């Protein structure tokens, strides 16, 4: 492990440990999204090493879902950042989809200190928990996930990507600006502008000039929560800063069009966006190439 990667390892000595609300991942789907739809994709674990792991962080450890090919080394790494519903079955399945393609995919539970949203039925109460999560904590936990991946000895952590959905789409943009080692990102309908607060001091439009890698934004033209005008605003900032990131708008797609377990799922847009994301990762040096 090189010195840059070692620097990401969290220092746990002489730090007061706190009680984490989430110490293990939820089984199945979050209560707030039930019942799941008939189109729900279920990716098996054949040929994979997949399951829950613990990631050391500065004040303890957080659970995460990790999936990778059962054999091979030099795996590219993709961080999978959860929706507002936490690391439930859909996010785990996305990790397995990447693993089937040769990636080491890892999704840390980023609300572990604030609440277990998987057991909350009302979406508004889920949002109340999410609003307590500081961006700084999230970025630090993602750094820890990168360090965890590097420590396995199975990956090439220089081939590093990040992708996220909804809440995680916004975080994808922020993390690409935070970590200069990110080569590629995929931001699925993440909010781009917003009011600054102590927990969320900046938004993607604010940090766009700091992005070192290339992010592909995947947005729905019928998204009621993310106006197309804000997408155009982000495009202008990216262009002005000379960043190679791009944004695709699926004109007829709503928010959550990739979420195959929800009514918002739009198979054609979701499948097209997925293929474009894989091509984007390959183009920017995070290819699905494994050595024995």
Residues recognised as catalytic: 166, 223, 255
Query: What is the CA 15 to chain-centroid distance, rounded?
Result: 27
In the block, residue with structure tokens 């039930």: 34
DSSP assignment of 78-116: EEEE-BTTBS-HHHHHHHHHHHHTT-EEEEE-TTTTT--
**Among residues 217, 134, 232, 118, which one has the least CA distance to residue 172?**
217
The three-point CA angle 71-77-82 to 5° equals 115
Please give the Cα distance from 144 to 66 (Å, whole number). 14
Contacts of 275 (CB under 8 A, 6+ apart): none
């Amino acid at each position: 492990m090189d010195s840059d990667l070692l620097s990401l390892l969290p220092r746990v000595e002489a730090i007061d440990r706190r009680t984490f609300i989430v110490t293990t991942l939820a089984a199945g789907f979050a209560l707030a999204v039930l019942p799941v739809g008939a189109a729900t994709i279920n990716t098996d674990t054949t040929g994979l090493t997949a399951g829950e792991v613990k990631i050391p962080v500065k004040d303890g450890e957080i659970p995460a879902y990790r999936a990778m090919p059962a054999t091979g080394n030099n795996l590219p790494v993709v961080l999978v950042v959860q929706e507002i519903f936490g690391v439930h079955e859909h996010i785990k399945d996305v990790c397995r989809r990447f693993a089937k393609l040769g990636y080491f995919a890892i999704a840390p539970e980023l609300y572990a200190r604030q609440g277990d949203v998987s057991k909350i039925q009302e979406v508004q109460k889920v949002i109340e928990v999410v609003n307590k999560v500081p961006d700084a904590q999230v970025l630090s936990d993602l750094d820890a996930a990168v360090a965890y991946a590097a420590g396995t000895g199975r990956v090439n952590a220089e081939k590093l990507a990040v992708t996220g959905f909804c809440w995680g789409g916004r975080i994808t943009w922020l993390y690409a600006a935070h970590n200069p080692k990110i080569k590629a990102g995929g931001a699925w309908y993440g909010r781009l502008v917003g009011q600054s607060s102590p927990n969320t001091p900046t938004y993607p439009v604010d940090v766009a000039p700091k992005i070192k890698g290339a992010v592909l934004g995947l947005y729905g033209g019928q998204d009621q929560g993310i106006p197309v005008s804000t997408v155009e605003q982000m495009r202008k900032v990216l262009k002005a800063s000379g960043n190679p990131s791009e944004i695709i708008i699926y004109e007829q797609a709503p928010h959550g069009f990739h979420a195959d377990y929800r009514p918002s799922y739009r198979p054609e847009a979701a499948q097209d966006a997925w293929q474009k994301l894989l091509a984007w990762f390959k183009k920017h040096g995070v290819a699905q190439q494994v050595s024995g």
